Amino acid sequence: MSQTTGIILATGAVTVANQTVFHDQPMDWRVPVATGLAAVGFSLAERAWPQGAKVLAWTTLLTVLLTRTQASVPSPVESALEWWKKSGS
C-alpha cells in the first residue's frame, strides 16, 4: 500500500461522513467511486514523483476539510465550529 492511500481514503471518508451522517443528505455514491479511483491514481503517481504525490494528497485533504463540496452542505470545519459553539453555551 502506498503512502498516499490512507490520506486519500480519509478524504473520502470525511466527505461521506460530513454529508450523510452530520447533515442528513442522501448517500452520493460518486464519492466512494471517485475516492477509489483517486487512491489508485495517487498510488501510480507516487511511483513517478513520491514527494509531490504526498504533498498533493495532503493538500486534497486540507481542501476538503476547509471548503464546501456542495453549496448546501457546510464544510467539515464549518460543521465543527457550529458544534463547538452549540456545546459551549
Reported as a single tens digit per residue, the pLDDT across 19-74 is 999 999 999 999 999 999 999 999 999 999 999 999 999 999 999 999 998 899 99
Q: What is the separation of C-alpha 20 from the centre of its chain, rounded to a whole number of angstroms?
A: 13
* Residues in Cβ contact with 60 at an 8 Å cutoff, skipping those fewer than 6 apart: 7, 8, 11, 38
Residues 11, 56, 31, CA angle at the centre, nearest 5°? Answer: 30
Q: What is the separation of C-alpha 28 from the centre of its chain, rounded to a whole number of angstroms?
A: 13
pLDDT band at 87 (very low <50, low <70, confident <90, very high): confident
pLDDT for position 89: 64
Domains of the chain: total: 1
pLDDT for position 52: 97
- Of 11, 4, 9, 7, the closest CA to residue 65 belongs to 11
Structural domain boundaries, residue 67: 5-88
